[in-house]
Chain A
Amino acid sequence: MSGAVGREAVFPTRQSLGLMKNKLKGAEIGHSLLKRKSEALTKRFRGMMRHIPVPHLIEALIILATDITRRIDEAKQKMGRVMQIAAFSLAEVTYAVGGDIGYQIQESAKQARFRVRAKQENVSGVLLPTFESYTQEGVNDFGLTGLGKGGQQIQRCRETYARAVETLVELASLQTAFLILDEVIKVVNRRVNAIEHVIIPRTENTIKCLYRLLPVSLVQANHSEDINSELDELDREEFYRLKKVSGKKQRDVAAADAEILAARQMAAEQQAANPKAPGATAIPVKEVETVDVLGEQEDNDVIF
């Protein structure tokens, strides 16, 4: 598993080890949160699925979705039956009235009798909209339609269609919930998979690699605090070394400056004494001295 996911490209330092450890912790917390969410969901739906163990959010969501699918199926079948009855009652109206009343009905309807209220239900962080239908009593815009003949059929037809719309609203509520749940399941699934199969193994891998790349003495230290202290030691040494190097460099520069100064003075004196041979003596002296200085420096610098 760990071989496939590789490791993150970090330098083997104490700082990146710390970062990796934080990352691992974060991933584990995320994972357990998702798990806890699933338990909340399970509790929420315990009534209907007591016998099914739900170890994971995904499964809880899928069971919820399955339940909704079942209810959608039921609602659709009910819809089919109700619509059939409704269509048939319209046929009765056509028979009784003997004409087309559609236009009159459309024009005389001014106020909605059948209304829908939209609500949001929070199922442990998943917002599911639910639609609730209710009838506004007292609104009866075409109560007189078919007064001469067919009035009773029209009223009955209206009631049948009201029932049909009720079922339709129920179905819409379920369908929307299903769609949203589907989306949530997909997202959570992706997230959980990413945490479980990519982020955690890769972070673990990186940490392992860091241990391997760090000095041998550290590998033997099993306890993480030991490792930390060793790494701190390492950092301190490195810092000291850098300081030392820069100190030496400063000293060398100062020495070189002094020599150049001395050489110039000497040359000036020689010119004053013997102007014929000014640089012949000065240059060899300088070269020899420079080589010596470098050699000395190298020896001193080598610490490891």
Chain B
Amino acid sequence: MEGLFFNVNGGYVEGIVRGYRNSLLSGQNYSNLTQCETIDDVKLQLAPSYGDFLASLSPNPSTSDLASRMTDKLVAEFKYLIAQATGSSAKFLEYMTYGYMIDNIALLITGTLHERDTRELLERCHPLGWFETLPVLCVATNIEELYNSVLIETPLAAYFKGSLSHQDLDELNIEIVRNTLYKNYLEDFYNFINTHPDFSGTPTQDVMAEILQFEADRRSINITLNSFGTELSKLERRKLYPEFGKLYPEGSLMLSRAEDVEGVALAVSAVADYKAFFDAVGLSQGSGGLGGMSGGPADGKSLEDLFYQKEMDLSKLVFTRQFTPAVVYAWMKLKEQEIRNVTWISECIAQNQKERIGNFISVF
């Protein structure tokens, strides 16, 4: 039944996104890219999908320039989508931008804390996290003013309220602030797709719940792993875990008590997927340190790589469903991964480190 009227409002957006999806780089494209000798070759290979946006690049551009142009294209396409979307779909797309907003606001908080001119920071803000009143935040000269204007001007007020006071912004590490906000954001998003009448009981709820649960678990695991050896206490750490997901509540509790990698492996062993990841990188046996892309694992995959792989698989699956704005979310994730892949490949080419060039995640 949900498909009956979906196309009235959401059909066009979905159609556009499916078109965008077809321009994503395929395995064939990637293998062509890895054969390139210079960044110019890479540029040439990307021409069919990125044409106009790469045209203004200088010959042999830096990888960061290349990446920023590719991001420009993503932003332009997303802006078109959000302009076309209406009703609950528009709300859904807005939710997608909140994650970037959190990053932007964290950036401004850092700048204000160190008494920099925050106007200069506006250029560094992620364009997807841009909202009309973002420049207003630059007026604030101290952290209390900033806190008040964030509450008034931004859609993120709900995430600040209740969990962060303006003293917290001053005292807590910016990473803790960022992760607290992100936790609140994920919980809110999860709540939104589960309770909104347009989405509950639709494919949107099915696929997005799974993706968001995975996202929440991934954050919990990463925060735990990265907090070893830092001043972050277990109690503070626990506050950063999103309160949903496959690991919640038992796994989260065990994670909060974990003191080393084995503890984390034990905590996630209840979920088959994550257990497989930990087995694959050899963390559960306690052999070797935290594997990274340059680290110990034999096949060169790190836990982060496996998480990205899983995220891509989930995103790819979304396209098997119809009548849902979740395809936009999936397309965006795929596109971001594509930008990361191309950046990685061109970085390998620029630095002449071809032996690790295959370390990207190709989905199609």
Hey, which bits of chain A sit against chain B, CB under 8 A?
A: 84, 87-89, 91-92, 94-96, 98-100, 103-104, 107-108, 140, 143-153, 156
Contacts and interface: CB of A to CB of B under 8 A. Distances in A.
Contact of A151 (B226, B302, B353): B226
Nearest to B304: A96
A99 B339 CA distance: 11
Given A95-B344, A144-B231, A156-B295, 14 more contacts: A84-B351, A88-B347, A99-B103, A103-B121, A108-B110, A108-B174, A140-B230, A147-B232, A148-B179, A148-B219, A150-B304, A152-B226, A152-B302, A153-B293
By CB atoms of chain A within 10 A, which of B222, B232, B343 has the most? B222
Contacts of B124: 100, 103
Interface string B207-229: 00000000000110011011101
A110 B182 CA distance: 26
A55 to B, nearest CB: 47
Contacts, number: 103
Contacts of A98: 336, 340
B110 A152 contact: no
B181 to A, nearest CB: 11
A126 B226 CA distance: 50
Given A88-B347, A156-B294, A148 B178 contact: yes
A156 B351 contact: no
B175 interface: yes
Contacts of A146: 175, 226
B168 to A, nearest CB: 15
B222 A104 contact: no
Nearest to B100: A99
Contacts of A87: 351
Nearest to A147: B175
Contacts of B121: 103
B126 interface: yes
Contacts of B229: 143
Interface in B64-105: 67, 103
B174 A104 contact: yes
Contacts of A144: 173, 175-176, 226-227, 230-232
Contacts of A143: 229-231
Contact of A104 (B110, B225, B292): B110
B111 A107 contact: yes
A95 B340 contact: yes
A103 B107 CA distance: 8
A86 to B, nearest CB: 10
B227 A152 contact: no
23 contacts: A84-B351, A88-B294, A88-B347, A88-B353, A94-B347, A95-B343, A95-B344, A98-B340, A100-B124, A103-B110, A104-B110, A104-B174, A143-B231, A144-B226, A146-B175, A148-B219, A151-B222, A151-B225, A152-B226, A152-B304, A153-B292, A153-B293, A156-B294
B225 A91 contact: no
B229 to A, nearest CB: 7
A143 B174 CA distance: 11
Chain A interface helix/strand/loop/mixed: helix
A147 B226 contact: yes
A89 B344 CA distance: 11
Identify the 10 closest CB pairs spanning chains A and B, nearest first: A151-B226, A144-B175, A91-B347, A143-B230, A147-B175, A107-B110, A107-B114, A95-B344, A144-B173, A152-B290
Nearest to B183: A148
B219 to A, nearest CB: 6
Contacts of A94: 67, 340, 343, 347
A147 B218 CA distance: 11
A98 B128 CA distance: 14
Given A100-B124, A107-B114, A143-B231, A152 B292 contact: yes
B179 A91 contact: no
Nearest to B67: A94
Contacts of B295: 156
By CB atoms of chain B within 10 A, which of A87, A100, A148 has the most? A148
Nearest to B303: A152
A92 B293 CA distance: 7
B293 A148 contact: no
Contacts of B232: 144, 147
Nearest to A140: B230
A184 B226 CA distance: 52
Contacts of B340: 94-95, 98
B351 A88 contact: yes
A145 B304 contact: no
B293 A147 contact: no
By CB atoms of chain B within 10 A, which of A95, A104, A145 has the most? A95
A156 B110 contact: no
Contacts of B240: 147
Nearest to B347: A91
B110 A84 contact: no
Given A87-B351, A92-B294, A104 B173 contact: no
Given A94-B347, A104-B174, A156-B294, A147 B227 contact: yes
A153 B222 CA distance: 12
Contacts of A100: 124
A202 B222 CA distance: 82
Contacts of B114: 107
Nearest to A100: B124
Interface in B263-296: 290, 292-295
A92 B360 CA distance: 11
Contacts of A84: 351, 353
A145 B225 CA distance: 13
B109 to A, nearest CB: 10
A128 B260 CA distance: 47
Contacts of B351: 84, 87-88, 91
Nearest to A91: B347
Contact of B304 (A103, A108, A147, A153): A153
